[in-house]
Amino acid sequence: MTAKKNRTAYVNARLLDPASGLDAKGALLTEGGEILDLGPKLFADGVPDGIERIDCQGHCLAPGLIDARVQLREPGYEHKETMTTASLAAASGGVTTMLCLPNTDPVIDGVALVELVKRRALDAGLINVHPYAALTQGLGGEQITEMGLLAEAGAVAFTDGIATVANAMTFRRALDYARTFDLLIVQHPEDPALANGGVMNEGELATRLGLAGIPTAAETILVERDLRLLELTGGRYHAAHLSTADAIEAVRRAKKKGLNVTCETAPPYFALNETAVGDYRTFAKLSPPLRDETDREAVIEGLKDGTIDLIASDHAPHDQDSKRLPFVQAENGIVGLETLLPLTLELVHNGSLPLLRALEAVTVAPARVFRLAGGVLAKGKPADLVLFDLEKPWKIDVERFRSKSKNSPFDGRPVQGVVLRTVAAGQPAFVQE
């Protein structure tokens, strides 16, 4: 028999495809970078000679995760993270596609910078990387970028990253311009005036700790404003890392009205609340800040009913010098690529979400929102896969992270769900030792 070049058979798998609702025992065949076939009856009579055989031993085989919000730090901040270290971290966490924010140095606000990021991602050669481009020049919040040209160069969407476009007229013009080219605008929804000087959620705990608070209204007011402007202009709008009940309710109402709005959250906002700050733990300092228990429960409810479309890691690596400071001076953000899957699976193990819905939020949902090719198990689709043990317990250990930075509030947390193998474009990107 002629050898089947570059063909790999994944047998004895629990096939999970949120897009089609598939949850069945079966096999999957890849050829080169594509899925060639899959199903419960595939290879019922055994795998032909010449095809590499991977025995999944009954474990879950799903589309590779798509992480829609990652700070890669390259170019400019390579001491915190690089394309290579982030790719290694992503692959070990089951992530086969990353979308990287433009708040680098220099800012990704020109065609040459978009092309640079794409080229460096190809050089790293491990997983897929798609750059956002800046919504305004230099992330200054005033002059919008040449979105049409940037999209042609490969920008997947437009955002000022961790900065808010506070000027309502600028944001209206951006939505107008983006609508012309059918482009997606992504906002960090936080009113800068209300958040100014705040370092954690406003409330009793902040008062007790003597820390300036950020009210939930800072998020809600910006979301409400943006939705009004969206209604005025049309177009596509995505709210990043929602953390408050009122903002989620605002999106819920907007969706019922038929507005083209999507949103995301991140694991800290359903896995932690403000008490994680404890005695000034800077690893629990985020933007937006961790909220109270009512808001945490609202995030889970938003994921349950589909108001919140997807979960992103919001990976924000920082070196020790940026985090081991007094709480007020410490940088915002945590690493998240390597904990995205197990923390999302917590929602399954604690009964909050069905397995396919949880996986949908990190696979096909981001693929739909950002119009990417992956996120599904289907013939002809990219062979981007993750094989994981759903039940295996372990403890998060930051010292084992492949990320260059270790700033996580989840160190030592017991979780269930271990990545066994990550496959990107048909090639193994990570295999558990």
Contact 239, 264 (CB under 8 A): yes
How do beta strands 158-159 and 184-187 pair?
Answer: parallel
Contact 365, 309 (CB under 8 A): yes
All residues at 6 or more sequence positions from 223 whose CB lies less than 8 Å from its CB, including other chains: 189, 239, 242, 247, 250, 251
Contact 280, 328 (CB under 8 A): no
| Residues with a known catalytic role | 314
Q: Cis peptide before 75, with omega less than 30 degrees from 0?
A: yes
DSSP H/E element including 54 = strand 52-55
Phi, psi of 419 (to 5 degrees): -75, 125
DSSP H/E element including 206 = helix 204-209
DSSP states along 122-167: HHH-SSEEEE-EESBGGG-SSSBP-HHHHHHHT---EE-TTS----
All residues at 6 or more sequence positions from 114 whose CB lies less than 8 Å from its CB, including other chains: 108, 131, 133, 150, 153, 154, 155
Give CA–CA dist 168/171, Å, rounded: 5
All residues at 6 or more sequence positions from 266 whose CB lies less than 8 Å from its CB, including other chains: 69, 241, 311, 312, 313, 314, 336
Contact 162, 134 (CB under 8 A): no
**CA nearest 299: which of 254, 262, 269, 272?**
269
